[in-house]
Amino acid sequence: MKKITVTREQQETINTMRRNNFDFENMKATTLNGQWVRSVQSDALNGMTDEQFSAAWFCAADIEPEPVEPWEAYRAYYEGKKVRYVDKNGARNSIRNNTYGHVGLAFSAIDIRANERKFYILEDES
């Protein structure tokens, strides 16, 4: 099954819509015919695909992790968690304890152009 991710803001907006008795079938039909419903409700919903919208409506979508500061990435790495960074070109790389034999190498991966990267702490997979 394909993994579908949405941001926390998108999921919370759709949850609010559900609590306010929006009808999924009407919303789905409206978004297929035009994107005005998404833009009227929130800027967070702009750019969502129909798959993302449906998965978020039924609470089946995964929530993207929030970006953290480089010092938080240091701490998470030290605690044995998996850290991922995305550079300005969109390339994704992971830093994990068993990837680097020396702590300094991982820290240098975090240090290099830290202002050009976004860091994410992922759930510990071990």
Q: With beta carbons less than 8 A apart as the criterion, state whether 45 and 53 touch.
A: yes
Residue ranges of the domains in the chain? 5-63, 67-122
Residue 9 token pair: 């803001």
Express each pLDDT in 34-72 by its tens digit.
554 544 556 677 777 888 888 888 888 888 888 888 888
CB atoms within 10 A of CB 16: 12
Q: How many CA atoms lie within 13 A of 39 on its CB side?
A: 4
Q: With beta carbons less than 8 A apart as the criterion, state whether 65 and 118 touch.
A: no
What DSSP assignment string belongs to 91-105? -EEEE-TTT-SSHHH
Express each pLDDT in 86-122 by its tens digit.
777 767 777 765 544 455 556 666 665 666 777 777 7
* pLDDT at residue 125, as a whole number: 47
Stated length of the chain: 126
CATH topology for 67-122?
Arc Repressor Mutant, subunit A (1.10.10)
